[in-house]
Amino acid sequence: MSAQTMTTSDRDTRHNERMQRKKTVVDEKIAAAQAERGVLLVNTGNGKGKSSAAFGLVVRALGHGMKVGVVQFIKSRGDTGEEKVLGGLPGVSWHVMGEGFTWETQDRARDVATAAAAWERARGFLRAPEIGLVVLDELNIALKYRYLEIDTVLADLLARPTMQHVVVTGRAAPPELVAAADTVTDMTPVKHAFAAGVKAMPGMEW
Amino acid sequence: MSAQTMTTSDRDTRHNERMQRKKTVVDEKIAAAQAERGVLLVNTGNGKGKSSAAFGLVVRALGHGMKVGVVQFIKSRGDTGEEKVLGGLPGVSWHVMGEGFTWETQDRARDVATAAAAWERARGFLRAPEIGLVVLDELNIALKYRYLEIDTVLADLLARPTMQHVVVTGRAAPPELVAAADTVTDMTPVKHAFAAGVKAMPGMEW
């Protein structure tokens, strides 16, 4: 039977059969995944969505009654929509520790000191079992420029409480972090409005 | 000078010079991007972060005083962290219109009717200039299974108010939608905790 002669009823029947088979496969996968523990998530790549996906998880975690700690390693602006809304919610501890983009500060020694202070804050969260989710926003940038040592960072991440989730964001995640992570997503740009001449819009980019 | 003999001071100087050059390039790009308008964003791919990035943008938009409309096309569960936190905030209109995963319903005719009702709700937002951001969560799934016609969807998207942002999520975005979008990100899975046997955890997956 060709697609041309397939009626709506045929298509419905085929679809329903395919979905029955899919359900069997999905159910088997769900049955196989029974470990319960905190996961280390890394959002990297050059596309949009690394930080915003982390903030979406803050919302999810809060909805399940968890406490959340956020450290922003690079961003310095205090007027972001995410901080205004999430920073004020009960259960959220939000720390903007950066001093701006690396090409704005143009001062590596100061960036290193800033990153060290931010890591101290992060370490506090990583030692607190009452914090269910820790967001380390743009940590990958601090690692990329070697403002922080990957070994120190990994040791603290791996020593965290068993049920604590951590999300690390930023371009160019180091291979050691990718290896240690449970879930890694590369936000791959297919196209971006900025390249087409659209200004960074409030509500979209900050 | 080899990396071995490079002192901290040398590294700092090189870094600072590189960042000065980078700033020039970045500043030029920012100067070239001056159009202000609503953007159509598509989060697709098989990796994690498509919906959570959309919810992160809901937070950003709210922080800038926008009103937000959310339509969930496939998900049916009413116990998600995102709905619990965001659905209750002033300025958010949240509609769970799905009846569950396609392999759970196993009923294409009913899925088509469900999608049509969800699109009517979406269309209401797309005709309302007071809504600054519209999230069409998992719309790509409804398009993939042809529960909705791509032509109808595109016509309504393109006729929306000039300053309105729209985020569409879901695997397998149709090429016509990708072509019409301003920003498209493919959330590409590098690895996923589920495949390693970790259960879908509250706060992470819903």
Which residue of chain A is at minimal alpha-carbon distance from B26?
A103
Position A132 pLDDT exceeds 80: yes
Q: Read off the pLDDT of each residue in A9-37 and give the average, rounded to a whole number.
A: 85
Check: CB of residue B190 under 8 Å from CB of residue A185. yes
Which range of A22-31, A187-196, B147-156 scores highest in mean pLDDT? It is: B147-156
Q: What are residue B204's phi and psi, to 5 degrees?
A: -105, -50
Q: Read off the pLDDT of each residue in A14-33 and give the average, rounded to a whole number.
A: 84
From the list B57, B127, B71, the residue with the least C-alpha distance to A201 is B57
- Report pLDDT digits (tens) over A59-87: 999 999 999 999 999 988 788 999 999 99
Q: What is the pLDDT of residue A89?
A: 93
Mean pLDDT lowest among A49-58, A136-145, B6-15, B114-123: B6-15
B3 interface with A at CB cutoff 8 Å? no
Position B67 pLDDT exceeds 90: yes
Provide the 3-class DSSP secondary structure of residue A95: strand
Chain B residues whose CB is inside 8 A of the A90 CB are none
Check: CB of residue B61 under 8 Å from CB of residue B91. no
Q: Read off the pLDDT of each residue in B176-197 and give the average, rounded to a whole number.
A: 94
| DSSP character string of B43-78 | EESSSS-HHHHHHHHHHHHHHTT-EEEEEESS---S
How far B68 CA lies from chain A's nearest CA (Å)?
10
Q: Answer with the residue of higher pLDDT: A26 or A146.
A: A146
Q: Read off the pLDDT of each residue in B143-154 and give the average, rounded to a whole number.
A: 96
Position B17 pLDDT exceeds 60: yes
Q: Answer with the residue of higher pLDDT: A160 or A99.
A: A160
Q: What is the pLDDT of residue B66?
A: 97
Q: What is the pLDDT of residue A177?
A: 98
Top residue of A11, A14, A57, A167 to mutate, by most chain B CBs within 10 Å, is A57
At B16, the pLDDT band (50, 70, 90 cuts) reads: confident
- Report pLDDT digits (tens) over B75-128: 887 889 999 999 989 999 999 998 877 777 778 888 899 999 999 999 999 999
Can you tell me the distance from the alpha carbon of B201 to that of B206, in angstroms, rounded to the nearest whole number? 8
Q: What is the pLDDT of residue B3?
A: 53
Q: Read off the pLDDT of each residue in A102-125 and give the average, rounded to a whole number.
A: 90
Give the right CATH number for B39-196 from 3.40.250.10, 3.40.50.720, 3.60.9.10, 3.40.50.300: 3.40.50.300
Q: What is the pLDDT of residue B40?
A: 97
Q: What is the pLDDT of residue A131?
A: 98
- Report pLDDT digits (tens) over B46-60: 999 999 999 999 999
Q: Give Cα separations from A157 to A95, A114, A125, A146, A177 (angstroms).
A: 18, 19, 10, 17, 10
* Largest separation between any pair of C-alpha atoms in chain B: 70
Q: Does B194 sit within 8 Å of A33, measured CB to CB? A: yes
Position A176 pLDDT exceeds 80: yes
Q: Read off the pLDDT of each residue in B7-28 and give the average, rounded to a whole number.
A: 85
Q: At what angle do helices A150-158 and A108-126 cross, to 10 degrees?
A: 10
At A17, the amino acid letter reads: E
Position B9 pLDDT exceeds 90: no
Q: What is the pLDDT of residue A35?
A: 86
Position B1 pLDDT exceeds 70: no
Q: What is the pLDDT of residue A11?
A: 84
Portion 38-97 of B in contact with A at CB < 8 A: 38-39, 41-45, 47-64, 66, 80-86, 89
Position A2 pLDDT exceeds 80: no
Whole-number average pLDDT of chain B: 92
- The contacts of residue B82 (CB under 8 Å, 6+ apart) are A56, A59, A60, A63, B51, B52, B55, B206
Q: Give Cα separations from A9 to A16, A47, A125, B105 (angstroms).
A: 10, 41, 56, 16
DSSP conformational letter for A155: H
Position B161 pLDDT exceeds 90: yes
Q: How many CA atoms lie within 13 A of A115 on its CB side?
A: 26
Position A3 pLDDT exceeds 60: no
In chain A, domain spans:
1-31, 39-196
